[in-house]
Amino acid sequence: MRRAAVARSEKAVDLPLQPLDLVEEPGEVGLRQGRSDHVLGEKPGHLCELQSSVLERLPDSSPRRVEERLAQEGRDRDDGPAEPLAGFGPGETPGLDRHADGVREVDSPLPSRDFPGLAHSTGRLYVRTLSDVLASIPRSLLPRQMNHSRGLKPGASLAPGSQKTGLADCQGPDKRGRKDTMRRKITVVGAGNVGATAAQRLAEKEMGDVVLVDIIEGVPQGKALDMYQSGPVEGFDGKVVGSNGYEETAGSDMVILTAGLARKPGMSRDDLLKKNEEIVAACTAGIMKYSKNPYIVVVTNPLDAMCEVARRVSKLPKNRVVGMAGILDTARMRAFISMETGYAMSNIHATVLGGHGDTMVPLPRYSTIAGVPITELLPPEKVAAIVKRTAGGGGEIVALLKTGSAYYAPSAAAVEMADAIFNDKKKILPCAAYLEGEYGIKGLYVGVPAVLGHGGVEKIIELKLTAEEAAALKKSSDSVAELFGLLTC
């Protein structure tokens, strides 16, 4: 193996050079960087203290092109030739030739930031720009919004020196009418406990910029400002703004509807229907005035009926309007199973079908601990108690709070749905989806397992049910149908 002596701080350090591989890409010279264990200096703290990395051996015909390209980049960036780097003066190491001795990465003078650069053996430092970095990444590995669907157009150039490179190519109106396509935009309608907590979770997870909307003047603005000021502590950079109107929501990618009357002790979800129908219809109309094609996640109760209100008013495809119910119901069941058994909730999975109310259908057969059905781990009376408590889980919290309803778990469930859709996770999650024949149900929103991804509700998962389970699901869907019959929108 060849060795090169590199002078630094009045003494020489021998740096073993690593074997070089030959890779040639059409029309470009490929640099494949891989950080090694060799670092010049014990504690790099200066731009001149370089870390070694690997450069693929250049083909015989390439050195001149590379030398010219590097020199041109130096002129473009510095309006003149790059200055020699201290410790790597001309003549101390061989020039860049077909043996290609020197690509390094340098540490940034800024804390906690990598400052990628090229330091070839003629002693010149060439800083890699964003376009250089993007050009070295295969298009298939670029984030979706920087590939063809939301940002760079097919065929757009990422080559250094191109007039259409970097962030500029990722700007421009998208199909929702928004100009800045680099950030997602999420609107949460309703700044009560559920909405505000959902907005905070979204901001902390950096799901996108958040707009919090409520009709009470000052409330969404104050809560949004408070959330935004937690950013330096929690480490998120997304915007959080509050509004009493819908202009700020323009171009939303997703809307989480939480607005509506809270459930009071002794009040069934069905009692909420008439008033909350008016609220959800007005909110949906306001959103659709400024956003063309958002996903809508409904949280407002009675949930199954409110999903239908949002679908009718928005006129969106059925896969883009979905209800939060099932994730919340199964989360409660998983918690109760964990409380009963003492096992980790991460090992517990539960399945609940049907409407989001007293007639929901928990399925112990499909509820497992590390893959083992709970019916094989718990006595029948314990299973029955868990099923009953799951169905009344929301009412139990209302009775305890006396002046409100659950919001931590509901907000967490809504954010999990947003994450699955935005990041195209293809997660199978129980949610209120519009059925057209699945499970023998047509034209209703009912809680079922569904695949959530970039297409919204992409697929309904049909489980094999016993006669008893099928009868319970039919009873639940019949109660949802009654609510649908009372809708006026």
Q: What is the pLDDT of residues 379-408, one digit of tens each?
A: 999 999 999 999 999 989 989 998 888 999
What is the distance between the alpha carbons of residues 158 and 10, in angstroms, rounded to a whole number? 41
What's the order of all strands across the beta sheet hosting 50-53? 35-39, 50-53, 104-107, 114-115
Structure tokens, 176 = 């929702």
DSSP of 169-231: GGBS--TTS-SB-SS-EEEEE--SHHHHHHHHHHHHTT-SEEEEE-SSTTHHHHHHHHHHHTH
Evaluate whether residue 62 is within a structural domain.
yes
The verdict on 262 and 366 lying in the same domain is no
CATH assignment of the domain containing 198:
3.40.50.720
Strand segments, DSSP code E, in 45-131 are 50-53, 104-107, 114-115, 117-119, 125-127
The residues of the chain scoring below 50 in pLDDT are: 1-13, 20-61, 80-127, 139-140, 144-173, 177, 179-181
The verdict on 280 and 335 lying in the same domain is no
Backbone angle region of 314, left / alpha / beta, with phi > 0 → left and psi within -120 to 50 → alpha? alpha
The verdict on 339 and 454 lying in the same domain is yes
For 271, counting Cβ atoms within 10 Å of its Cβ (0-12 exposed, 13-18 middle, 19+ buried), the class is: middle
Dihedral in degrees, nearest 10, Cα atoms 370, 376, 377, 381: 140
Domain boundary among 102, 128, 154: 128
| Boundaries of domain holding 247 | 185-323
Task: Output the pLDDT for position 356.
Answer: 86
The verdict on 337 and 276 lying in the same domain is no
The verdict on 300 and 392 lying in the same domain is no
- Exposure string of 306-316, with b = 16+ CB inside 10 Å and e = fewer, is bbbbbbebbeb
In order of 203, 205, 301, 333, 346, the CA distances from 416 in angstroms are 13, 10, 19, 17, 15
The verdict on 317 and 444 lying in the same domain is no
Instruction: Note every long-range contact of 433-440, with CB atoms under 8 Å and residues 24 or more positions apart, other chains counting.
Output: 433/318, 433/322, 433/323, 433/457, 433/460, 434/307, 434/308, 434/311, 434/318, 434/319, 434/321, 435/460, 436/318, 438/462, 439/353, 439/465, 439/470, 439/473, 439/477, 440/470, 440/474
Rounded to a whole number, what is the distance in angstroms from the first to the last CA of the chain? 78
Structure tokens, 445 = 């929103």
The verdict on 317 and 342 lying in the same domain is no
What is the distance between the alpha carbons of residues 181 and 36, in angstroms, rounded to a whole number? 37
Evaluate whether residue 29 is within a structural domain.
yes
Evaluate whether residue 445 is within a structural domain.
yes
Strand segments, DSSP code E, in 111-172 are 114-115, 117-119, 125-127
Whether 478 contacts 446, CB under 8 Å: no
Whether 299 contacts 328, CB under 8 Å: no
Task: Output the pLDDT for position 489.
Answer: 87
Structure tokens, 294 = 């958002």
CATH assignment of the domain containing 346:
3.90.110.10
Evaluate whether residue 167 is within a structural domain.
no
Task: Output the pLDDT for position 161.
Answer: 40
Whether 70 contacts 118, CB under 8 Å: yes
The verdict on 266 and 307 lying in the same domain is yes
pLDDT tens-digit readout, 352-365: 999 988 889 999 99
What is the distance between the alpha carbons of residues 176 and 156, in angstroms, rounded to a whole number? 21
The verdict on 60 and 196 lying in the same domain is no
pLDDT tens-digit readout, 255-310: 999 999 876 667 666 677 889 999 999 999 999 999 999 999 999 989 999 999 99
Among residues 317, 174, 348, the alpha carbon closest in space to that of 252 is found at: 174
Evaluate whether residue 307 is within a structural domain.
yes
- Alpha-carbon 131 to chain mean position: 24
What is the distance between the alpha carbons of residues 342 and 429, in angstroms, rounded to a whole number? 24
Which residues are the active-site residues?
Answer: 356
The CA R_g of the chain, rounded to the nearest whole Å, is 29
Q: Are strands 254-257 and 185-189 parallel, antiparallel or unpaired?
A: parallel
State the total domains in the chain. 3
What is the distance between the alpha carbons of residues 22 and 24, in angstroms, rounded to a whole number? 7
Evaluate whether residue 135 is within a structural domain.
no
Domain boundary among 264, 295, 323: 323
Whether 49 contacts 40, CB under 8 Å: yes
Evaluate whether residue 13 is within a structural domain.
no
- Exposure string of 140-152, with b = 16+ CB inside 10 Å and e = fewer, is eeeeebbeeebbb
What is the distance between the alpha carbons of residues 121 and 182, in angstroms, rounded to a whole number? 38
Residue 85 burial (CB count, 10 A): 20
The verdict on 192 and 233 lying in the same domain is yes
Q: Are strands 295-298 and 254-257 parallel, antiparallel or unpaired?
A: parallel
Evaluate whether residue 33 is within a structural domain.
yes
Whether 183 contacts 159, CB under 8 Å: no
The verdict on 329 and 411 lying in the same domain is yes
Structure tokens, 374 = 């709970």
The verdict on 319 and 331 lying in the same domain is no
Dihedral in degrees, nearest 10, Cα atoms 295, 299, 302, 304: 40
Residue 346 amino acid letter: S
**Phi/psi of residue 280, each to 5°?**
-65, -40
